[in-house]
Amino acid sequence: MEFEAVIGLEIHVELNCATKLFCDCPNNPGDDPNTNICPTCLWLPGAIPRFSAEALEKASLLCLGLGAELQPQSAFDQKVYYYPDLPKGYQLSQAHRPLARGGGIDITDEDGRPKRLRIHHIHMEEDVAKLVHEMEGRLPISLVDFNRAGSPLVEIVTEPDFRTPHHAMEFLKALRTQVRYVGSSECSMENGTMRVDANISVRPKGTSQMNTKVEVKNMNSVRHVGDAIAHEIGRQSQAVQTGEAVVLHTRLWDPDKKVTLPMRGKFEGPCVPDPMVPVIELTPEWIEKMRTRLPEMPAARAGRFVKQHGLTGEEAAFLSEDPEVAVYFEALVGRGIAPRTAMHWLATQLIPAVKERKLELAAQPVTPERFAALLKMLAGDEINANAAREVLTHLFESGESPEEIVKTRGFKQVSDTGALEAMIDQVLAAQASAVADFRAGQGKALGFLIGQVMQASGGKANPKIIRELLAKKLNAAS
Amino acid sequence: MDSIFFYRNPDGAASGDGPLEGLNIAIQPNISKAGWPVDAGSRALARFTALEDATIIDRLSRSGAFICGSTKMSEFGFGLAGSLAGEAVKEKIAGAELMMDMTGECRLAAAAAGVCGFKPSYGLVSHFGLIGLIPSMEACGVLSPSIQNIRGILKAVAGPDEKDFSLPDEGIPDFTTKALDPLKTAIGVLAEAQSALTAQEQGRFRLSVSELQKAGFAVREVSFPEWPLFLTVHKIVGSVEASSAAGRYDSVRYGERAPGAKNWNEMYLASRGAAFGTLLKSFLFQGAFFQFQRYAAYEDACRIRARLVEDMKKRFGEVDFLVLPVSDGASDPNPATLDETCRQFAGTAFANVTGQPALVLPPASAGHAPLQLAGPRLCDAALLSLGEQLLMLRKGGK
């Protein structure tokens, strides 16, 4: 029997707010343990949660960016469970009345066809404390770090529209791009600002039944999500074929053994409305105000790049994936650099150079202004491509302008035909066999001869002029 | 005297500056005053010390009042078993006492002590620093022989608090005394509220109501057929909230920890089992039952609550105030079970369910019953004016 999987994702995204969700403590979970705490996030008796306006704005932008509809009313509930990471006995989460409903992401499936993956709803909740398990001699101990307790999270719950690991991976990549775009979170699975649980069930292909699902956790990269889903589909398909019942439970992905292992029975406690956090009412005016703060989203931006700058779809998608790259690209074009040149030099030179130096594009010495000045000299034949690459290296280390670097370090292109003709004559005299090859019809000998002249010029010759002069001389002499 | 108090202010009475200068106020140990032990009457909070002043304490201190100590209280302020609230006021050690009213505790304690007891509207007084049990129903009330004191305290503490966003943004009522014209003021007697009274109690209640008529108010009967549902809703919604709110008492950072547990789960169970008293445990069990086993009933109760709130509003289209009987605890001074406790509050729970203000006045004279007056939400100032006017008449004023 052939099986197909029915997959839904629950994605927790930690908002990059300055403070926690219900108090003014800094939202820096990575600081020294228990330094960002107060009576509210320790939930001491008498403390009252005070809902953060910044968290509401960042969560709302995230929802709008994903095309979800902000609800006029949403509210927090108490999700009851008892565990040392949650000393007040319940987590504040929007279980019944979420912040937003609907929305979705368009991906390209394995066969290159567009597929829409829908979002069911998006709600806010607080993070819980972090447990650190250690050994004190031979005694196992558990320490509780409250820095993370009360950090603002949103949870994106999808519809069970996913059928394959590829769908899940593409969705997560696009989600990450879009959330980074609106600036609400770094959305990194590696550092835990995005955490993904996958709900997976299998059914005979072609049927529409919904079978018992299994929740898989503990994947810390997009790749792991794909691997874990693939493994779980295989495991469940086999279980069904051997007549084993699939029961509702949670499994943990073991990235070393590449298997999912059972964890615990799923607790489904009913949530009661929290009486202390006020109901959140969003007016149409406020929602509109948020919408105006929304940047151009990647898909729209890529479409515009194709139309406005004549790029290919692939080039436009590359430039739009990271908002910093897109902004940088447009800054270059705005300074009169041809879009293709800007695209090419960004993709092949500047971005790799920035990565190599472990810098951020938005905060490094080669500003769009300096890079544009360099590319202008290239376009104006003042320097050649070789020189431009070298000047770029200098731009990272020196505060001088590209013009100064070219001038003081002698990168200026040699376009003086007299000087070049002298070099060419020397090369032609020394490379008689190559000249003979060219005359015998071997076109590639021309390239070799250009290279030789270039070398003789110390890399500064204008290759276009060399080619013209060489061609003239070789043809004249024959 | 120390038989009344749980903790006495170690500082001598400081002469404060402000409108409440010279007023000694007793509190209960579920109201935070920085550095004071606040165990909320429970072993679950043993050795817990308040880190900050509750907003109401801060505001009272700024108004010149002196917080003289905290009195012995029932566990988490639920019911009156073990409570000595009202005694400090009765013995004139304090001019007023602050007490949480979650089922009617403040009003009943006042009735038993023969003083006035006031439960303000929900949302008028900050919860910050109050160790409550039923957040959507409780409000910090005031006991005092003097309504002027109650008015002064409300004036000092009421209003928005940036530490408590649960307060609706409704502004601060004007607490200045405004004389009510009896001819233009209608007071309704809820027929259904008397049905649970004995014949003798009914007689005493009617005698008390006649005081209003003698004062010239138009007293008329008002019907509220769903009256018994107030207590039912309170039992379900209140206990579910309490069960969730009390989840934090785990013996880890304060409170008494039962020895011998092999893991954290056993530790929670054993410590919670040992810490809570029988009455509170019954109430929390009831809440857990509705939350986990009868969730639909809980949802029904929430819907019924919304309907009761609307129905109550409609009554105030017919009359300006309501008058209701209140138990003075004489018939059952020491209820032992949850059922008996709830029965005591049959006449008061409505105001906790709706969030409206209610005021208890001591009996006018022997043979009378204490009188409970209630008004629509946020009419606190007018309700206090009504009470003040009646007390004036008793003194022979006009």
Q: Any idea what the CATH number is for the domain that residue B33 is in?
A: 3.90.1300.10
Residue B164 with chain A: CB contacts under 8 Å: 48, 50
Q: Is the pLDDT of residue B1 over 60?
A: no
Which domain covers residue B342, as residue numbers?
Answer: 5-179+323-394
Residue B298 with chain A: CB contacts under 8 Å: 272
Subunit contact B250:A273, Cβ cutoff 8 A? no
Q: Is the pLDDT of residue B395 over 90?
A: no
Are B122 and B191 in the same domain?
A: no
- Which helix H or strand E contains B149, and what residues bound it? helix B147-157
CB contact at 8 A, A157 and A122: yes
Can you tell me the ipTM of this complex?
Answer: 0.93
Residue A45 with chain B: CB contacts under 8 Å: 38, 40, 45, 48, 131, 248
Across the interface, of B52, B241, B295, the residue whose CB is closest to A275 is B241
Query: Global pTM?
Result: 0.85
Q: Is residue B306 part of a domain?
A: no
A384 touches chain B (CB under 8 A): no
- The pLDDT assigned to B328 comes to 79
B128/chain A closest Cα distance in angstroms: 6
DSSP state of B349: H
User: For residue A440, which amino acid is it?
Assistant: A
Burial annotation A446-469 (CB, 10 A radius, 16+ → b, else e) = beebbebbbebbeebbbbebbeeb
Subunit contact B166:A48, Cβ cutoff 8 A? yes
Across the interface, of B38, B247, B253, the residue whose CB is closest to A89 is B247
Phi and psi of A198, rounded to 5°?
-115, 130
Q: Hey, where are the domains in chain A?
A: 3-284, 296-408, 417-477
Q: Which of residues 184-243 of B touch A (CB under 8 A)?
A: 240-241
Range from B11-15, B158-162, B236-240 carrying the lowest mean pLDDT: B11-15
Task: Work out the pLDDT band at A32, boundaries 50, 70, 90.
Answer: very high
Residue B102 with chain A: CB contacts under 8 Å: none
Segment B277-296 mean pLDDT: 95
Are B150 and B116 in the same domain?
A: yes
Tokens at A404, concatenated: 């100064």
Are B285 and B174 in the same domain?
A: no
pLDDT in tens, A201-233: 999 988 888 888 999 998 999 999 999 999 999
In chain B, how many domains are there? 3
- The pLDDT assigned to B331 comes to 63
Are B354 and B383 in the same domain?
A: yes
Note the CATH number of domain A417-477: 1.10.10.410
DSSP B208-250: HHHHHHHTT-EEEEE--TTTTHHHHHIIIIIHHHHHHHGGG--
Segment B368-373 mean pLDDT: 94
Task: Work out the pLDDT band at A99, boundaries 50, 70, 90.
Answer: very high
Q: Which of residues 32-51 of A touch B (CB under 8 A)?
A: 39, 42-46, 48-51
B67/chain A closest Cα distance in angstroms: 18
A273 touches chain B (CB under 8 A): yes
Residue B240 with chain A: CB contacts under 8 Å: 272
Are B190 and B243 in the same domain?
A: no
Q: Is the pLDDT of residue B172 over 80?
A: no
A147/chain B closest Cα distance in angstroms: 17
Subunit contact A272:B291, Cβ cutoff 8 A? yes
Are B277 and B369 in the same domain?
A: no
Are B65 and B121 in the same domain?
A: yes
- Collapsing DSSP to helix, strand or coil, A228 comes out as helix
Across the interface, of A45, A50, A82, the residue whose CB is closest to B48 is A45
Segment A150-172 mean pLDDT: 97
